[in-house]
Amino acid sequence: MIEALYEVFLSRYNYWMAIILMLIGLYALIAKQNLVKKLIGLNIFQTAIFLFYISFAEVRGGAAPIYLPEGVDALYVNPLPHVLILTAIVVGVSVTAVGLSLIVRIHEEYGVIDEGELLQEMRRR
Amino acid sequence: MTETESVVIRTVARIAVPFIQVFALYVIVHGALGAGGGFQGGVVFAASFILMIIAFGLPCVRQRVSTRWLMICSVLGITIYAGIGLLCLLPAGNYLEYGAIEAALGIPHLHGYLIDAVEVGIGITVMAVMTSIIYDMADKGGESS
Amino acid sequence: MTVIDHLPVLLIAIPILASLLILLVGWHDRRFCYPISLITVLSQFGAAIIIFLQVMREGTVAYHLGSWAPPFGIELLIDSFNGFILMVILLLSAATVIYARRSVESEIEPEKTVPFYVLFQLLVTGLVGMTITGDIFNLYVFLEISSIAAYALIASAQKPRAYVASFNYLILGSIAGGFALIGIGNLYVATGTLNMLDLARLLPASYELATVHAAFLFLVIGFSIKAAFFPLHLWLPDAYAESPSAVTVLISTVMSKVSVYALLRIVFSIFTTAYIFTSFPVNDLILFIATVAIIAGAILAIAQDNLKRLLAYSSVSQIGYIMFALGVSNQVALEGGILHILGHALMKGCLFMVAGLIIYRMGTASLKELGGLSKAMPISCAAFALAGASMIGIPPTIGFMSKYYLVLGALEADHWIYAGALLIGSLLAVGYIWRFIEIAYFKDNDHDEGHRQVRAREGPVSMLLPMVVLALLCLFLGIFVEGVMEAVTPAATLLLGGA
């Protein structure tokens, strides 16, 4: 029983964490009223995906994928997902920047950053 | 963000900034051979500017590093990248095929230097864009274009 | 190695450099931005035609970046399907750039025109990249490049509502991007490759894995959000209605088409018909949702008072037609679907251009205030009527041809009820197109509201020309549909796994 539990949860600890983080992020995206918190939720969501990628790149006992010159026993972790995630991080940064500047503009125009109040303001005008 | 930040912050920032920037350059130049690269180095470089903004205030930093200068940097960086990529087409290589230039000019290890040059280009662009994002944010999104 | 061989990469690299050039030159003098943008997009269009002819003549064109062989390096791959799409989107982009100049002058502050053209160029480049790449992660990167440019472009309308629309689109678009990323990760776990051809070769061995099912669902849902497939279309009406007219034309025609292209590419080229029919039977579900989309989108469109919103909901309905082809997925229906990608791009581009021109001249797109418009703007109203007829599916327009093929395909697959629903959708399209026609042609403002007489004039030539060309293309490509089918048939065959 315990071993089965270990097999299911603990040995794939990273993936469960990725799933939990993803759900936290999606929850924040849907349920939070504050626009900035929504954006934070989006970031958590993206971070969960990064964690997922980095997790499946892992090779038990593998070294960092830096070229070792002479005859060293080389078992590397898979470097490709790291590179992919670097790209995805850049995308995440850009999206966050655009989102934050949009929130700044919305705040300038309507004076609120709460979604419910924002809808009220929009209806009023 | 005014000049009234504490002396400690300003002094530490003054000492730390050069080291951060040297480290950033190291990371950028290291991109071809080991862990590192233009993006990471560029972000570290931009972080030094962000530290300066926090310590000395936006107007002070802006005097030294103007938006216009950043814009030119970001364009320059991408031009280096795309330019080297297109340069590879001249000696009948494919886009970004550094080996083609190396073979055509007969200079050994040239393709490593070309990778470094591309990384520098990426680093410059990332640094400039990151810093200009901070400028725009700290500016309350106003006036800049 | 001549320039021709390098065209695929030049198609992406040169426009990025051009966008930087626009930025630099724009500082010196704002007036130079537009010519550079125009020249770039036109030369892209020319390159697309050359590549397409080459594909037709010699088969698939492949380009390996840095000469890294395919499973390892990034590959640009142009076959008869995406060569066709590439030509369509660049035709529409070129028309939009010609149209954009006057529209931008009136809707965007002068100091924002430089960033506008830069972002416009980047959006087009991102979409071209999405179309021609043969690497699925590269597809994601270009998707995000185009999306970020689109968020900023929508917000460039400088209206409070545009900011909110753009923010909502940003949230949904990023979720879509995230889902696509998870799907790509799952595919990589299952096969260890990111190249599309390689994926198609390796995937059948693991068709029964839950990982692959999850990948399929994430990818399809992600790209369905980007394509605004029916229950996931909520960002669309605001984004289309609030953005500047030129941007509306571009994102409603080019961007949604490219998302649909990516969806078709993933479903048919990476997964195959064998997968969606037997291993993971979703095609009936997609067919059902597509039918709901066709009808619900049309009904929602009828209920709108704003011309731009009406057309936006009509887009939801028309995307349903293309997804209908995906649901039926036999040769004839797919030919109809691909033809509809072309047809819908042409007619929706024309319709949104008319709507933009009306806003340019009248300052409003509210249907109530447009009575008797046909007297003031006869050419644009005629263009609207022609493109609208194509939207409804009146022969011999291209809209009729694509729907004809769709119905034939549905009948061939024994989906009688769905074929009927398709016809009902067309009938409902009469409802919303006729609303504008009736108001513009048959409602005389002199009788009921004399004080609000339409005083607008016909639009400037640079806005009329692309509009009229698109409307006429709707008609002529419908009449000479045989020529178009020569390009569409191999594309459909390719998708179904034939030669």
C 348-367 → B contacts, CB under 8 A: none
- Judge contact between B26 and B38, C-beta under 8 A: no
Q: Scanning every residue of chain B, which has its alpha carbon at the shortest distance from the alpha carbon of A87?
A: B39
**CA atoms of C169 and C177, how far apart (whole Å):** 12
Which chain A residues touch B37 with a CB distance below 8 Å?
Answer: 86
Find which of B33, B39, B74 to mutate to test the A interface (most A CBs within 10 Å of its CB): B39
Cβ pair B78:C111 closer than 8 A: no
Which chain A residues touch C191 with a CB distance below 8 Å?
Answer: none
User: Which amino acid appears at position C218 of this protein?
Assistant: F
Cβ pair C66:B145 closer than 8 A: no
Ordered by start, the domain boundaries in chain B are 7-138
Q: Scanning every residue of chain C, which has its alpha carbon at the shortest distance from the alpha carbon of B82?
A: C13
What is the reported pLDDT for B140? 59
Percent of chain C with pLDDT over 90: 13
- Please compute the mean of the pLDDT values over residues B79-104 and round it to a whole number: 77
What is the reported pLDDT for B34? 67
**CA atoms of C217 and C271, how far apart (whole Å):** 11
Q: How confident is the model at residue A68 (pLDDT cuts 50, 70, 90)?
A: low
- Judge contact between C391 and C347, C-beta under 8 A: yes
- Please compute the mean of the pLDDT values over residues C34-39 and round it to a whole number: 88
ipTM of the complex, rounded to two decimals: 0.90
Measured between CA atoms, how close is B50 to chain A, in angstroms? 15
Tokens of B96: 């970004």
pLDDT digits (tens, 9 = 90+) for C85-135: 999 999 999 999 988 888 888 888 777 888 888 899 999 999 999 998 888
Q: Which residue numbers of B have CB closer than 8 Å to C's CBs?
A: 68, 71-72, 75, 78-79, 82, 85-86, 88-89, 92-100, 145
CA distances to B23, C22, C251 from C93, in Å? 44, 17, 10
User: What is the DSSP track for C168-218?
Assistant: HHHHHHHHHHHHHHHHHHHHHHHHS--BHHHHHHHGGGGTT-HHHHHHHHH
**CA atoms of C30 and A103, how far apart (whole Å):** 28
Query: Which chains share 3+ C-beta pairs under 8 angstroms with A?
Result: B, C
What is the reported pLDDT for B143? 45
- Helix ranges, C303-394 (H): 307-328, 331-362, 373-376, 378-392
- Please compute the mean of the pLDDT values over residues C70-86 and round it to a whole number: 84
Measured between CA atoms, how close is B89 to chain C, in angstroms? 8
Q: Scanning every residue of chain A, which has its alpha carbon at the shortest distance from the alpha carbon of C190?
A: A56
Cβ pair B35:A64 closer than 8 A: yes
A 46-75 → C contacts, CB under 8 A: 46, 49, 52-53, 56
Q: Scanning every residue of chain B, which has its alpha carbon at the shortest distance from the alpha carbon of A97?
A: B133
Q: Scanning every residue of chain B, which has its alpha carbon at the shortest distance from the alpha carbon of C20?
A: B75
Find which of A93, A107, A108 to mutate to test the B interface (most B CBs within 10 Å of its CB): A93
CA distances to A56, A78, C325 from A74, in Å? 19, 12, 50
Q: How confident is the model at residue B53 (pLDDT cuts 50, 70, 90)?
A: confident
What is the reported pLDDT for B1? 46
Residue with tokens 């233009």: B38
Q: Scanning every residue of chain C, which has its alpha carbon at the shortest distance from the alpha carbon of B74?
A: C20
What is the reported pLDDT for A90? 86
What is the reported pLDDT for C28? 80
Which chain C residues touch B88 with a CB distance below 8 Å?
Answer: 66
User: Which amino acid appears at position B62 of this protein?
Assistant: R
Which chain A residues touch B35 with a CB distance below 8 Å?
Answer: 64, 66
pLDDT digits (tens, 9 = 90+) for A54-64: 888 877 777 77
B to C CB pairs, distance under 8 Å: 46
- Judge contact between C123 and C107, C-beta under 8 A: no
Which chain B residues touch C116 with a CB distance below 8 Å?
Answer: none
Q: Looking at residue A21, which CATH number applies to its domain? A: 1.10.287.3510
Q: How many CB atoms lie within 10 A of CB A97?
A: 18
Tokens of C206: 């693991």
DSSP class of residue B32 equals G
**CA atoms of A8 and A1, how far apart (whole Å):** 11
**CA atoms of A19 and C319, how far apart (whole Å):** 32
What is the reported pLDDT for A27? 92
What is the reported pLDDT for C148? 92
Q: How many CB atoms lie within 10 A of CB C408?
A: 16
**CA atoms of B44 and B130, how far apart (whole Å):** 10
Q: How many CB atoms lie within 10 A of CB B14?
A: 13
- B35 versus C389: the higher-pLDDT residue is C389
- Whether the predicted pLDDT of B144 surpasses 50: no
Q: Scanning every residue of chain A, which has its alpha carbon at the shortest distance from the alpha carbon of B40?
A: A86
Radius of gyration of chain B (CA): 18
Chain A contact for C142 (CB, 8 A cutoff): no
pLDDT digits (tens, 9 = 90+) for C16-33: 888 888 888 887 887 888
User: What is the DSSP track for C249-314?
Assistant: HHIIIIIHHHHHHHHHIIIIIIS-HHIIIIIS--HHHHHHHHHHHHHHHHHHHHT-SBHHHHHHHH
Boundaries of domain holding A90: 2-124
Query: How many structural domains comprise chain A?
Result: 1
Q: How confident is the model at residue A70 (pLDDT cuts 50, 70, 90)?
A: low
Nearest alpha carbon to residue B88 among B76, B105, B73 = B105
**CA atoms of C2 and C10, how far apart (whole Å):** 12
Chain A contact for C160 (CB, 8 A cutoff): yes
Q: How confident is the model at residue C450 (pLDDT cuts 50, 70, 90)?
A: very low
**CA atoms of C79 and C54, how far apart (whole Å):** 10
Cβ pair A97:B137 closer than 8 A: yes
Which secondary-structure segment (H or E) carries C248? helix C245-250
Mean pLDDT rounded to a whole number for chain B: 80
Q: How confident is the model at residue C451 (pLDDT cuts 50, 70, 90)?
A: very low
Whole-prediction pTM: 0.90
**CA atoms of C440 and A50, how far apart (whole Å):** 53
What is the reported pLDDT for C444? 65
Cβ pair B133:A67 closer than 8 A: no
- Whether the predicted pLDDT of C268 surpasses 70: yes
Nearest alpha carbon to residue C380 among C473, C475, C463, C439 = C463
- Among C139-143, C146-150, C444-448, the minimum mean pLDDT is found in C444-448
- Please compute the mean of the pLDDT values over residues B116-141 and round it to a whole number: 82
- Whether the predicted pLDDT of B82 surpasses 90: no
